[in-house]
Amino acid sequence: MRGSLFTAPRARVLLADDNEMNVKVALGLLEPLHMHIDVAVNGKEAHELARRNHYDLIFMDQMMPVMDGQTSVKLIRGEDDPHLKEVPIVALTANTIPEVRSKCVDCGMTDFLAKPVKPDEIIAITKKWLPVDMIEEEPEGSEVQESAPSDDVPQVEGLSSEDGLRYSGSKDMWVSLLGDYYNMMDVKSQLIRDSISSGDIKRYTVEVHALKNTSRMIGAAELSQEFYELEQLGHAEDVAAIRDRTEGVLSHMASYKEALAPFAVSDVKKQACDPEDIRARLQEIYDAMDSFDLDGADNAMKELDAYEVPDGIKDKIDRLRAYVADVAMEDVMDLVKEIMGEL
């Protein structure tokens, strides 16, 4: 049981999180409340959206590319708009130690929600901080129920289906996340390796932090713990230990590929195109990133994903998708130029 059911159809909420799986789950868990929810993929975008729109509640992830959550909140609280100084901002954080909580309070956070988020907790904290006049109670006795156990819940060796269902909220969502996890494994592994090679330890730390959370979301607790340990090495900037231990953890993640592959099967048929169609979408992605038009980049990437691309660039298109999702602007623009040179 998650508590009394309510809706808030007049409420407008901002969710700032760069991790697509986290966003997918949060939107799914909040969907029964019928709120209007905008999504920001980094702290800079969250700040810009908060300035342009009147939000009743903001969920803010702590570790994001381009700008982290604490910096974004400081900017939001520093605006002249009285509403931005008071709007409730809930930190989404996997680090609940007193030091982290203290930093969140100092930058202007209102409350905390531990990641991975649990259905009952995100519902309760939403009701706690939304304005009372936004809440529309359902008839007394109405409740949002946890997903009932099902005999047809998939069993994946090495994963806890119980944990997966608890964090995702439903069997269908968990199965969907298993496919998402499979699709991003190789790309994320390459991003982590690239970060080590380039000496970008900050980005390395953000990437392993994200995998710590998504691994726990699908029920891979042991793997999640290993990514947590890599995250601590990143915070300590222990490059020698990072180089020594990372490949073993990535190999552990890769060991799930065969078991997760069936969940990533797609029935979507790719459409035929010529190189000029691909070039046009790539140019749109480049131009959008150059002007920090994140929605434009996402839309162009979705159109590109609908194309049947030559085998020789498929791996690079996969990397490009990850770079766009991570708002890695320079990487996106460099890779676009590289791909266009091969068409």
Closest CA relative to residue 318, chosen from 158, 131, 186: 186
Which span out of 94-108, 273-287, 316-330 was modeled with the highest average pLDDT?
Answer: 273-287
Q: Quick one: 205 exposed, middle or buried, by C-beta within 10 A (0-12, 13-18, 19+)?
A: buried
3-class SS letters over 65-76: CCCCHHHHHHHH
Token pair recorded at residue 187 = 């790309």
Name the strand (E) or helix (H) holding 6.
strand 6-7
Share of the chain above pLDDT 90, in %: 61
Token pair recorded at residue 196 = 């080590």
pTM: 0.78
What pLDDT shows up at residue 148? Answer: 46
Q: How many Cα neighbours within 13 Å face the side chain of 226? A: 14
Print burial letters for 151-180: b (CB count within 10 Å at least 16), e (below 16): eeeeebeebbbebbbbbbbbbebbbbbbbb
State pLDDT tens for residues 35-65.
Answer: 999 999 889 999 999 999 999 999 999 888 7
**DSSP-assigned letter for residue 11:** -
Averaged over 296-309, what is the pLDDT? 89
Share of the chain above pLDDT 70, in %: 91
Q: How far apart are CA 151 and CA 260, in angstroms?
A: 19
State pLDDT tens for residues 197-243.
Answer: 999 999 899 899 989 999 999 999 999 999 999 999 999 999 999 99
Domains of the chain in start order, with CATH, are 6-137 (3.40.50.2300), 161-264 (1.20.120), 275-342 (no CATH)
State pLDDT tens for residues 132-152.
Answer: 999 998 765 555 444 444 558
Mean pLDDT of the chain: 88
What region does 335 belong to: left with phi over 0, alpha with psi -120 to 50, or beta?
A: alpha
Is the pLDDT at 10 greater than 90? The verdict is yes
Q: CA 294 from chain center: how many Å?
A: 15
Q: How far apart are CA 74 and CA 109, in angstroms?
A: 9
Name the strand (E) or helix (H) holding 299.
helix 294-305
State pLDDT tens for residues 94-133.
Answer: 766 667 677 778 889 999 998 888 889 999 999 999 999 9
Averaged over 321-332, what is the pLDDT? 79
Is the pLDDT at 325 greater than 80? The verdict is no
